[in-house]
Amino acid sequence: MNIHEYQAKELFKKFDIPIPRGRVAFKVDEAKEIAQELAVLPVVVKAQIHAGGRGKGGGVKLADSAEEAAKIAGEILGMTLVTHQTGPEGKIVGKILVEEGLDIDKELYLGVVPDRATASLVFMASEAGGMDIEEVAANTPEKIIKQQVRPGEGLQPFQGRALAYGLNLEPEVVKQFIPVVAKLYNLFMNYDCSLVEINPLVITKDKKLVALDAKVNFDDNALYRQKEVEGYRDLTEEEALEVEASKYNLNYIKLDGNIGNMVNGAGLAMATMDIIKLAGAEPANFLDVGGGASAEMVENGFRIILSDENVKGVLINIFGGILRCDILARGVVEAANKVGIQVPVVIRMEGTNVEEGRRILDESGLDLQVANDVWDAASKVAEIARSA
């Protein structure tokens, strides 16, 4: 789960990680008020959306007066901000962060992420702050210093020192940096984060270390024990259909194609999307109805898929296994009747009682094509896409 920069900075504040003074605003008047309160110039107005690259997209601007801050706020609030992370459709800005501007001497990078290969957390720090850290890692990996931390053992004091000295910090900055590393670690552990990143972590002209930006993501698996974090969720940042699907415990992700698909199991669902593409059509979504694929899940799945107006055909691929295909087929027919399906549907299913299942589908009177295997199913649905 993602949150906004201003929310991440609230968490930073709780952990005593230094941030610029400022507040979130939802209206132009509020932005002006905050700028006046700050009583320093310039002030920075930052669009709050769940995507990086805001500066390049025109979502971060400096103002030299409270009036200018209000004017900029008026331009940014309600704008559709397009960045390399939003996709071409962009995101509508509903909130802005108004902060004091700082005199910056140097920009650093500091982040923590889980490392799969070593089953540990890895701190990454770099003198090349303010840049895309992926690019730094790809082009100049020597500019990134790392420290691995096993949560069972915890962060060791020497690791903070190793990062600080690796960054060639001046002694008075080292003193500020080491505690920030420890606080970042505590934040990560306390909130079950999946990423905490400060980019840039700046050193001001008067040698103060300040988190100019803040990014915090959380482990979805741990949300059950992070009730406070749930309050940070911003549903306006999420695709409406995906929010709807999550209410039914369905894993749905909207894509750009026109062939809807419903599959049991995430791996098979991805493989089904791939084979649709291989057959010459484009998948409209990813939808995993779970290993069990109950009739209710199938019905909800149909509703979600068909809410996408681009969908011209649907492929259902269920590897039942222990699940009986006759029961599944009855569920599909019932769901199709209930939802009132207007597009052709190709069904491929495997498992026990598969013949009985096919008979039920054939005799349903619905526009259902039964496929023999995955490739047959993909070919049939691609044919539908071509004639649509």
Partner 1 sequence: MSILVDENTRLVVQGITGKEGQFHTRQCVEYGTNVVAGVTPGKGGQQMDSIPVFNTVEQARLEAGANVSMIFVPPAFAADAIMEAAFAGIEVIVAITEGIPVLDMMRVYHAVKNSGSHLIGPNCPGIISPGKCKVGIMPGPIHMEGSVGVVSRSGTLTYEVVDQLTKNGVGQSTCMGIGGDPIIGTNFIDALKLFEADPGTSGIVMVGEIGGSAEEDAAEFIVREVSKPVIGFVAGLTAPPGRRMGHAGAIISGSSGTAQAKIEAMEKAGITVVRNLGELGKTAVEVFGE
The residue range among 28-36, 53-61, 161-169, 280-288 that interacts with partner 1, by the rule CB under 8 A, is 280-288
383 belongs to the binding site for partner 1 (CB under 8 A): no
**Is 384 a residue that touches partner 1 (CB under 8 A)?**
no
Other Cβ atoms within 10 Å of 304 Cβ, number: 22
Distance in angstroms (rounded) separating the CA atoms of residues 233 and 212: 22
Please report how close the Cβ of residue 20 comes to partner 1 at its closest, in angstroms. 27
Q: How many angstroms separate the CA atoms of 385 and 314, rounded?
A: 10
Task: Say whether residue 375 binds partner 1 (CB under 8 A).
Answer: yes
Q: Report the candidate in 60, 61, 91, 62 with the shortest Cα–Cα distance to residue 78.
A: 91
Which listed residue (6, 99, 109, 185) is catalytic? 109
CB of 363 to partner 1, least distance (A): 26
Give catalytic status of residue 99 as yes or no.
no
3-state class (DSSP) for residue 321: strand
**How many CA atoms are closer than 13 Å to the CA of 275, on its beta-carbon side?**
20
Confirm if 1 and 217 have CB atoms less than 8 A apart: yes
- Among 148, 125, 147, smallest CA distance to 137 is for 125
CA distance 87 to 50: 12
Question: Between 145 and 266, whose beta carbon lies closer to partner 1?
Answer: 266
Find the part of the chain contacting partner 1 (CB under 8 A) among 15-23, 58-66, 214-222, 303-311. 214-222
Nearest 5 degrees, angle CA 254-CA 55-CA 184?
85
Q: Among 112, 125, 374, 381, which residue sits at the site for partner 1 (rule: CB under 8 A)?
A: 374
Residues in the chain: 388
> Does 44 sit near partner 1 (CB under 8 A)?
no
Q: How far apart are the first and last CA of the chain?
A: 37
Which of 7, 199, 264, 300 touches partner 1 by CB under 8 A?
264
Token reading at 200? 């840039």
Catalytic residue among 107, 197, 232, 252: 197
CA distance 9 to 176: 18
Chosen residue from 88, 103, 116, 247 binding partner 1 by CB under 8 A:
116
CB of 269 vs partner 1, minimal distance in Å: 6
Count of residues in contact with partner 1, rule CB under 8 A = 55
Residues 164-203 that bind partner 1 (CB under 8 A): 189, 192, 194
- Concerning whether 75 is annotated as a catalytic residue, the answer is no
- Name the segment binding partner 1 (CB under 8 A); options: 57-65, 178-186, 196-204, 370-378: 370-378
Q: Among candidates 319, 326, 386, which has minimal Cα distance to 354?
A: 326
Residues near partner 1 (CB under 8 A) are 85, 114, 116-117, 119-121, 134, 138, 150-152, 189, 192, 194, 219-222, 224-225, 251, 253, 255, 263-271, 273-278, 283, 286, 288, 291, 319-322, 350-352, 373-376, 378
